[in-house]
Amino acid sequence: MIPKIILGKGSRATRRLIGYLYGPGSANEHTDPHLVASWNGFAPDPGRSPHRNPKQVEDQLAAQLDQPVNMLGDKAPATTVWHCPVRAAPEDPILSDAQWADIARRIVAAAGIAPEGDEEACRWVAVRHADDHIHIAATLVRQDGRRPRRDHDIRAVQREARKIETDFGLRRLKPGDGTAAKRPTSKEHFKAKRQGQDTTTREILRRRVRRAVAAASTETEFFALLDATGVTVRPRTGPSGDTLGYSVALPGDLNKHGEPVWFSGSTLAGDLSLPKIRHRLTTTSPEPVTARPADPWHQATAATERIPDHLTHSSDHTAQGQLVVLGEALDLLPLTAPAEAKRELERAAALFERATRSRITADLDSTRVLHRSIQTILLTPATTRDGAGLAMLLDAVLIAVAFARHWHQTHQHAQQEAAAEQTLTHLQAAYAHVAAPVLDGLARRTPGAQTTHRYARHLQQTVPEHADRILKDPAWDALATVLADAETTGHNPATLLDQALGQRTLDDARNPARTLTWRIHRLGQRHTPSPRAQAAMARSTTRRPGTPAHPSAAAPATAPQQPHVRRR
């Protein structure tokens, strides 16, 4: 159940609100508007007065609501109207008028508008014009002339809504922390529906601005990218000529006066204001690269693989920074994906946006590598042709998002935890689209039986606890192929397997052969070691009987339990 408080001011604010509530709605969505509750139980109801002119009854109702305000004359407050739509979830049962009346009374009591048993409280009405919601309208002067005590009414109403959900058996929403981006209004939803769009203008602009921030290295690039994606930008400048802020609009999205509908960056989301964007661009700007550039897919995967360790062992500020850059990566990955996976990745990015926000300040110092790698991938389209790169990165992203869910759960960030959980579903679907053809192609090149048997024997000797699962995994043929490819280029397959097995435990991998395939694929494409280096690595990975297979197996029994990762 979602309540949303809206304040109004002006001499005709109450009358305008009553006219809207009893009118047809902006898209003729109002059906049978009528009162379900009021401050005194017998307020005039324009929806249930068949023998009177409805407009006159609306005038009468507005006048009665405004009476305490008008009695104060010039001493009346500037803000006089308190409006709170309360909406049930689509899957909730249809509530009766009596049930909605009870909900309305609880909401106004929690908000301080009309505490239970207070006969001198503010005047209010609850109007229902659809099965799934009501609108509560109140005036902000008590009948004794005093102002209502509604300190922190937004939080109080949200808390009461959670209790109502439990009492009425409704869908239980997660408690928030005030960091979510602003939701589209009902008018915006209806407008999108009239225009045949699944998404509101606000959401489209927020996604494009986030992508521009993730892809840009400078403020100039940021504004250029917005322009390139079809966003109209209106800078806000100060007397000195410096840019202080910005607003964005979509071409063709006009108000009733034929003017563009503008959204400032801060109204799209708190972290999309120009000062916040400048800070992020400054702290994530690429450092000079002196060494030969590596494969950006490999760099991005390696940086993503480090996110679980940051979330487990680093400070909360560093962990929050990792979530921010992971969200940026998800924002940009749809631009690199084939059509069948693009939609799932876009949904994953939209959902994970909520998991990137908390009240913990993000330290972005450790995020440069992933930030730069994703940008490089976008700037070099040729590198995106190999589906293995995207599949390998998505494999690491899945684990990172699972750890993000666990991190939010530990910090009691309920909405963020739920967002990360929902993100995993769409990521798994995208991964299946991307990885399946790559794995099938590798499987068709499986090496001969003698070579495959040699790799299997090494697995059985090295990780007997996982060998049966790996060998029975449908991706075993693909794993054997990447081992053979690496061996052809001069790598020692046994050494590569040991390195891959030592990167992380396979305990939480649903498909261990797939996981090893991507690890070997990345390790095998690194620069081939010299014969002397190969001999040294072979000696270092030769184990005495009884020693653990890889570092994770040697962890003490008291080591913290890692979150369970629901893998492919």
pLDDT in tens, 119-141: 999 999 999 988 899 999 999 99
User: CA 75, 76, 80: angle at the middle one, nearest 5?
Assistant: 165
Which residues, 6+ apart, have CB-to-CB distance to 133 below 8 Å? 85, 86, 87, 88
Q: Tell me the DSSP string of 452-481.
A: HHHHHHHHHHH-HHHHHHHHHSTTHHHHHH
Residues contacting 330, CB < 8 A, separation 6+: 345, 348, 349, 352, 397, 423
C-alpha gyration radius of the chain? 30
Question: CA geometry: angle at 218 spanning 216 and 219, to 5°?
Answer: 100
- Helix pair angle (387-410, 512-524), 10° resolution: 120
CB atoms under 10 Å from CB of 295, counted, come to: 18
pLDDT bucket at 103, cuts 50 / 70 / 90? very high
pLDDT per residue as tens digits for the range 370-410: 999 999 988 876 655 568 899 999 999 999 999 999 999 99
Please give the single-letter amino acid code of residue 224.
Answer: A
81: three-class secondary structure by DSSP: strand
Sequence-distant (6+) residues with CB within 8 A of 336 are 377, 378, 384, 390
Concatenated DSSP letters for 104-159?
A: HHHHHHHHTSS-TT-TTS--EEEEEEETTEEEEEEESS-TTSPPP--TTHHHHHHH
Least Cα distance to 122 among 136, 138, 104, 107 occurs for 138
Mean pLDDT of 278-293: 68
User: Which of 430, 498, 491 is CA-nearest to residue 461?
Assistant: 498
Cβ 427 vs Cβ 398: under 8 Å: yes
User: End-to-end CA distance of the chain, in Å?
Assistant: 33
Residues 176-232: pLDDT tens digits? Answer: 777 888 888 767 887 888 888 888 999 999 999 999 999 999 999 999 999 999 999
Choose between 169 and 295: higher pLDDT: 169
Cβ contact 332:215 at 8 Å: yes
pLDDT digits (tens, 9 = 90+) for 313-354: 999 999 999 999 999 999 999 999 998 899 999 999 999 999
- More confidently predicted of 294 and 226: 226
Pick from 324, 345, 320, 327: nearest CA to 413: 320
Report pLDDT for 288.
53
- Residues 138, 82 contacting (CB under 8 angstroms): yes
Dihedrals φ, ψ of 137, to 5°?
A: -120, 130
SS3 assignment, position 261: coil
CA 37-43-47 angle, 5° bins:
75
Which pLDDT does position 561 carry in this prediction?
Answer: 46
- How many Å apart are CA 395 and CA 518, to the nearest integer? 8
> What is d(CA 85, CA 78) in angstroms, rounded to the nearest whole number?
22
pTM (two decimals): 0.74
Higher pLDDT, 549 or 69: 69
Q: How far apart are CA 203 and CA 198, in angstroms?
A: 10
Distances in whole angstroms, Cα of residue 82 to Cα of each of 99, 109, 114, 126, 143: 21, 13, 12, 12, 15
CA distance 525 to 214: 28
More confident residue, 231 or 175: 231
Asked whether the beta carbons of 424 and 376 are under 8 A apart, the reply is no
